[in-house]
């Protein structure tokens, strides 16, 4: 019996031998929302690894991939500090997901690799919307794989507009009036001022923008005619005249009780709570906010049905009659660390992640827009279908490694004007001086 048992054990080991022969390769991936519904930025990598492993087994490659890492739901600042420390310490993850301007910053620092020689090897990447490659290109090379994109609408509360006397037809026509340049920032201000005066909204709740620094302020500066990049010289630009228009609008909004003096209080929960309580007339946000509101803030009220009944959306208006409206897209991208020991395998994993069903799962679940042409044709989500036209008016942040300094300086001006520390005219000079100090020969002040 002992001999038979031994023979059985040997047979079992022979049967299991191929599995033990597989080399296990762990790819680490650090991803972030921070909105909870965007968790598919990480879970899609894990799902893709299962498919990749099936193909690797069929190929007899002798390798199996395991994805480890995390999905961050805290905030961008601590996440990016952690990534930067990992880069500087020589121990970064294999894959990092972040917004597209960071491909420029991290490529310039040598932290991530160019992917141009790898991309043509995978047919999946040929389905990516062409314009998104421009968002991850720096000095002619591609440093990221687009993961999702979005638009940043101007939302409006339909119920409050009705209380102000607007008809359903007028409300339905508002997005197209903004598209045609017939409803400008001055009209936003006038309508919100009227809502405050007639007590349709409380003072300070005629218009809400984000409570923290972010790329949206660049978008609004552009909507007042500002330039931020000179393609010929590759330098950043600050346009005094446009900034003055923008700052004067903000100051007028605060003085009229349309905008809270402390709107930049850093409190996202207060922003979402007040907006979804139906207390704010106009508010700037992102398409991904729609999923957050549906899943976290208005679920008991009816979710998406309540949102469609009460909220409308449009591109952000222009500052002048007949001008072109605007929105800003900040595509997220997967990047491969230059310190990774498994760069080729990491890129192949990203190819298996960039497929229509996973793209659609993320888009529908998080209210971001898909990056694949096939996905855009297949999904049936009402919000994504209705909001996708905003991409006609979209723009990206400029590809310059010092952009964070430019953004910081502009934000200081916005903050100082809204809080009343300086006049709009003084704020323009503060911003111009700070940009010249921080950016030296990389800024054109006009």
One digit per residue, pLDDT tens: the chain, 446 residues? 444 444 444 444 444 444 446 899 999 999 999 999 999 999 999 999 999 999 999 999 999 999 999 999 999 999 999 999 999 999 999 999 999 999 999 999 999 999 999 999 999 999 998 889 989 999 999 999 999 999 999 999 999 999 999 999 999 999 999 999 999 999 999 999 999 999 999 999 999 999 999 999 999 999 999 999 999 999 999 999 999 999 999 999 999 999 999 999 999 999 999 999 999 999 999 999 999 999 999 999 999 999 999 999 999 999 999 999 999 999 999 999 999 999 999 999 999 999 999 999 999 999 899 999 999 788 889 999 899 889 889 889 998 999 999 999 999 999 999 999 999 999 999 999 999 999 999 999 99
Decide the pairing of beta strands 137-138 and 141-142.
antiparallel
Tell me, what's the pLDDT at 386?
Answer: 92
Among residues 210, 205, 211, which one has the least CA distance to residue 160? 205
Q: Where are the alpha helices (DSSP H) in 60-137?
A: 76-89, 101-108, 130-135
Radius of gyration of the chain (CA): 25
Looking at residue 205, the DSSP 8-state letter turns out to be B
Tell me, what's the pLDDT at 5?
Answer: 47
Output the six-digit token pair for 211.
């409570």
Helix, strand, coil % in the chain, rounded to nearest 5: 55, 15, 30
Output the six-digit token pair for 16.
């299991």
Q: Which helix (H) or strand (E) holds 69?
A: strand 63-72
Cβ atoms 116, 144 nearer than 8 A: no
**Does residue 171 sit in helix, strand or coil?**
helix
Tell me, what's the pLDDT at 378?
Answer: 85
Q: Where are the beta strands (DSSP E) in 129-202?
A: 137-138, 141-142, 145-148, 154-157
User: Cα dihedral sign for 231, 237, 240, 246?
Assistant: positive
Please give the C-alpha separations between residue 303 and each of 100, 184, 386, in angstroms, as whole numbers.
31, 30, 17
């Amino acid at each position: 019996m002992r001999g038979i048992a031994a023979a059985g054990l040997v047979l079992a080991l022979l049967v299991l031998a191929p599995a033990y022969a597989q080399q296990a390769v762990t790819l680490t991936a650090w991803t972030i929302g921070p909105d909870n519904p965007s968790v598919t930025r990480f879970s899609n990598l894990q799902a893709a690894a299962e498919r990749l492993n099936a193909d690797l087994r069929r190929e007899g490659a002798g390798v199996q991939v395991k994805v480890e890492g995390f999905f961050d739901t805290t905030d961008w600042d601590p996440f990016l500090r952690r990534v930067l420390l990992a880069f500087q310490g020589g121990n970064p993850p294999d894959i990092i997901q972040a917004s597209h301007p960071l491909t420029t910053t991290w490529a310039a620092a040598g932290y991530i690799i160019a992917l141009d020689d790898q991309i043509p090897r995978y047919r999946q990447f040929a389905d990516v919307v062409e314009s998104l490659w421009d968002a991850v290109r720096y000095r002619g090379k591609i440093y990221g794989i687009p993961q999702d994109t979005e638009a940043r609408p101007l939302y409006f509360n339909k119920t409050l507009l009705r209380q102000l006397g607007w008809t359903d037809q007028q409300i339905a026509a508002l997005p197209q009036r903004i598209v045609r340049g017939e409803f400008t920032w001055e009209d936003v201000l006038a309508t919100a001022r009227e809502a405050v005066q007639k007590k349709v909204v409380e003072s300070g709740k005629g218009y809400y923008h984000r409570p923290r620094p972010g790329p949206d302020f660049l978008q609004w500066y552009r909507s007042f005619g500002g330039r931020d990049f000179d393609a010929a010289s590759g330098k950043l630009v600050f346009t005094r005249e446009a900034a003055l228009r923008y700052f004067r609008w903000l100051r007028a909004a605060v003085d009229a009780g349309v905008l809270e003096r402390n709107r930049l209080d850093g409190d996202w929960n207060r922003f979402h709570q007040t907006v979804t309580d139906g207390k704010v007339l106009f508010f700037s946000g992102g398409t991904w906010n729609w999923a957050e509101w549906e899943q976290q803030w208005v679920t008991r009220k009816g979710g998406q049905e309540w949102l469609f009944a009460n909220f409308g959306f449009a591109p952000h208006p222009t500052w002048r009659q007949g001008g072109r409206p605007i929105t800003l897209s900040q595509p997220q991208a997967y990047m491969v660390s230059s310190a990774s020991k498994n760069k080729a395998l990491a890129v192949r994993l990203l190819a298996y992640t960039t497929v229509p069903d996973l793209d659609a799962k993320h888009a529908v679940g998080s209210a971001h827009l898909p990056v694949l042409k096939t996905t855009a044709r297949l999904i049936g989500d009402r919000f994504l279908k209705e909001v996708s036209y905003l991409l006609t008016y979209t723009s990206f942040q400029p590809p310059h490694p010092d952009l964070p300094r430019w953004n910081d300086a502009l934000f200081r001006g916005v903050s100082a004007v809204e809080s009343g520390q300086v006049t709009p005219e003084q704020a323009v000079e503060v911003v111009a001086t700070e940009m010249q100090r921080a950016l030296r020969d990389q800024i054109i002040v006009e």
